[in-house]
Amino acid sequence: MSIRAENVSYIYNEGSAMASTAIHGLSVSIGDGEFIGLIGHTGSGKSTFIQLLNGLLAPSEGRILYNGKDIHGTETDLKSLRTKVGLVFQYPEHQLFESDVLKDVMFGPKNQGLSTEEQKERAVQALQSVGVSEEDFSRSPFELSGGQKRRAAIAGVLAMRPEVLILDEPTAGLDPRGRDEILDLISGMHREMGITVILVSHSMEDVASHVGRILVMDDGNIRFDGTPREVFSHREELEEMGLSAPSITYTMEYLRSLGLPVDTGMITISEAAGEILRCLEERNA
Amino acid sequence: MILAKKLSHNFNKRDDDGNVVEVIHALKDVDLEVRAGEFIAVLGHNGSGKSTLAKHINALLFPSDGEVVIDGMDTRDAASLWKIRQEAGMVFQNPDNQIIGQVVEEDVGFGPENMGVPTPEIWERVEESLRIVGMLEHRKKSPNHLSGGQKQRVSIAGVIAMHPRCIIMDEPTAMLDPGGRKEVIRAARALNQVEGITIILITHYMDEAIYADRVFVMDGGEVRMSGTPREVFSRVKEMKALHLDVPQVTLLADELKKRGLSLPDGILTDQELAAALGLEAGAGKA
């Protein structure tokens, strides 16, 4: 699996007085099995970009290639592409609609033209992998708690067995417990099922501790692309874009400004603690 | 200013025929007192009773048992209902559900207009409220052209224009990006410190709660912990057991302690951590 965007631009309301460019000249490659964090302030083009990736929007210019083939070319069936590149929208639980949880999750495989047995098998497996218990399968999706609803909605996309899973702020509006559960779930799917994951997030802490690569979007293009440590070393530029580094980075910078020579590139708590102890020992030696 | 005595709230769950099948105890014997001018943060995970409590304070819900008294007025007294709702304004999570006007200043004027405030005074209030939240320059814009943080500040201005003595904010930053969150929290703190309005901030974000005078932690419909942010956040283990976060720097201090460093409890800010590590401000770059 590979996705490539080649010099992609997207203009809303093209040709009208309301035309506005959301993406311009964006190029990027995403490889098999990557875990990518996509960050950017509201209006930076993140949502447009992910909709281009699964063919919900067609580029005004440039191409999106899936396994080397133009997704809007004659060789590609867009409908099957969308089952391979699954998109979980913001507040996906608003899209639950069936009379019970199992039927709701079966809806995707049903549209793929699978037999009823196969739909059921996939739905059960997807629900189990997101941790919805069997006694809830026959309940109305609207009786579930907020976190459970969101899991069921994610299962609806998983049941189509996508190769790539794109999640648009999957933890928005959840409490810390729900957030940790969903992030652990996504990390687990990436690790155990080998799914390529693109996670859109506003939380720098969540991104710092989970993903392997970060794409930072600003003004319709990718401004930074690298490991969390590389990207968060551009603290000032990130702030200019309305973003920030993880809060622990600021703590480390503050300690350094007071004369403790810590490496400020630390982005998780345990890294930072190790670095502080190392410096203290050196100082006392 | 706000007094809850043995406040309980039960929701009845009914089957298709309207028979009660289950009683959910959303609040159980909650006692609390908030003084005028305080900044209170309420923490707790989903379903802990935070929002139910908030709705009691502006009389959207009424006690199943116990009582809620706002400025001497019992919420169950129908005659005081409108006065209570005017005194205790409410800001909700999603700004898009709260904004109704086509133009920012019209939206903000909606509340006082409904209260029967004379027109010239409505405009005064609109201007004053938008200035407090830093949105005066956007007064002629359509709310559709604002960012999430700006919209939420307009919602807050709409509440301020009714001249409440207390504002309850129910997760006002949950749907905002980091920039928007900062804008809204700055506005809330200014309201409290400059205007002296009592603020009750319901949030999941611990870094927003450290500015509060007092923090209440709710779980299972009860107030499980209360105290200053320092008192509450120093109980890292209990907070974690309730699946709540503590500020990142507090976690860092806790991790350092686990690895053998001796540090005091309840470090909440970078400055406090530096002091505890024996670093002095003004030491300069090494």
Q: What is the DSSP string of A48-100?
A: HHHHHHTTSS--SEEEEEETTEETTSTT--HHHHHHHEEEE-SSGGGG--SSS
% of chain B at pLDDT higher than 70: 98
Residue B284: pLDDT band with limits 50, 70, 90? very low
Phi, psi of B166 (to 5 degrees): -145, 140
Contact check, Cβ <8 Å, B261/A280: yes
| A113 pLDDT higher than 70 | yes
Closest alpha carbon within chain B to A241: B179
What CA–CA distance (Å, rounded) separates B115 from B95?
A: 22
What CA–CA distance (Å, rounded) separates A160 from A121?
A: 11
Cβ of A204 under 8 Å from any chain B Cβ?
yes
Q: Which helix (H) or strand (E) holds B113?
A: helix B104-114
| CA-based nearest residue to A36, from A210, A163, A222 | A210
User: Residue A4 has what pLDDT?
Assistant: 96
| CA-based nearest residue to A14, from A72, A57, A45 | A57
Residue-wise pLDDT for A34-78, tens only, equals: 999 999 987 889 999 999 999 999 999 999 999 999 999 988 888
Q: Is residue B244 part of a domain?
A: no
DSSP sequence for B132-174 = HTT-GGGTTS-GGGS-HHHHHHHHHHHHHTT--SEEEEESTTT
- Minimal Cβ distance to B279: which of A41, A173, A259: A259
Contact check, Cβ <8 Å, B284/A202: no
Cβ of A248 under 8 Å from any chain B Cβ?
yes
Best mutation site among B13, B173, B279 for testing chain A: the one with the most A CBs within 10 Å? B279
Q: Is residue B286 part of a domain?
A: no
Q: Does the predicted interface ipTM exceed a cut of 0.95? A: no
Phi, psi of A175 (to 5 degrees): -80, 170
| B285 pLDDT higher than 60 | no
Strands A213-218 and A35-39: parallel
Domain of B213 in residue numbering reads as 36-62+78-225
Burial of A154 (0-12, 13-18, 19+ CB in 10 A): buried
- Minimal Cβ distance to A242: which of B177, B252, B259: B177
User: Residue A63 has what pLDDT?
Assistant: 95
What CA–CA distance (Å, rounded) separates B87 from B189?
A: 18
Q: Is residue B112 part of a domain?
A: yes
**CATH number of the domain to which B98 belongs:** 3.40.50.300
Better-scored residue on pLDDT, B129 or B243 = B129
User: Residue B204 has what pLDDT?
Assistant: 83
- Minimal Cβ distance to A242: which of B46, B179, B251: B179
Q: Is residue B256 part of a domain?
A: no
Phi, psi of A166 (to 5 degrees): -110, 125
Closest alpha carbon within chain A to B174: A173
Give chain A's mean pLDDT: 91
**Residues of chain B positioned with their CB less than 8 A from the CB of A172:** 174-175
Residues 6+ apart with CB under 8 A from A58: A52, A72
Taking chain A, what is the end-to-end CA distance rounded to the nearest angstrom? 52
What CA–CA distance (Å, rounded) separates A161 from A155?
A: 10
Q: Which residues of A207-235 are buried (b: 16+ CB within 10 A; e: fewer)?
A: bbbbbebbbbbbebbbbbeeebbebbbbb
| B282 pLDDT higher than 80 | no
Cβ of A63 under 8 Å from any chain B Cβ?
no
**Residues of chain B positioned with their CB less than 8 A from the CB of A242:** 177-179
- Minimal Cβ distance to B243: which of A145, A176, A255: A176
Best mutation site among B146, B238, B239, B277 for testing chain A: the one with the most A CBs within 10 Å? B277
Q: Is residue B134 part of a domain?
A: yes
Strand ranges for B189-234 from DSSP E:
198-202, 214-219, 222-227
What length is written for chain A? 285
Residues 6+ apart with CB under 8 A from B259: A273, A277
Q: Is residue B201 part of a domain?
A: yes
Residue A203: pLDDT band with limits 50, 70, 90? confident
**Residues of chain A positioned with their CB less than 8 A from the CB of B271:** 254
Q: Is residue B125 part of a domain?
A: yes
Q: Is residue B238 part of a domain?
A: no
Please give the tally of structural domains in chain B: 1
Average pLDDT over residues B217-233: 92
Poorest-confidence range of A102-106, B95-99, B224-228, B268-272? B95-99
What length is written for chain B? 286
Helix, strand or coil for residue A277? helix
| B86 pLDDT higher than 90 | no
What CA–CA distance (Å, rounded) separates A24 from A35?
A: 24
What CA–CA distance (Å, rounded) separates A70 from A16?
A: 27
pTM, rounded to two decimals: 0.80
Average pLDDT over residues A86-110: 91
**Residues of chain A positioned with their CB less than 8 A from the CB of B243:** 175-177, 180
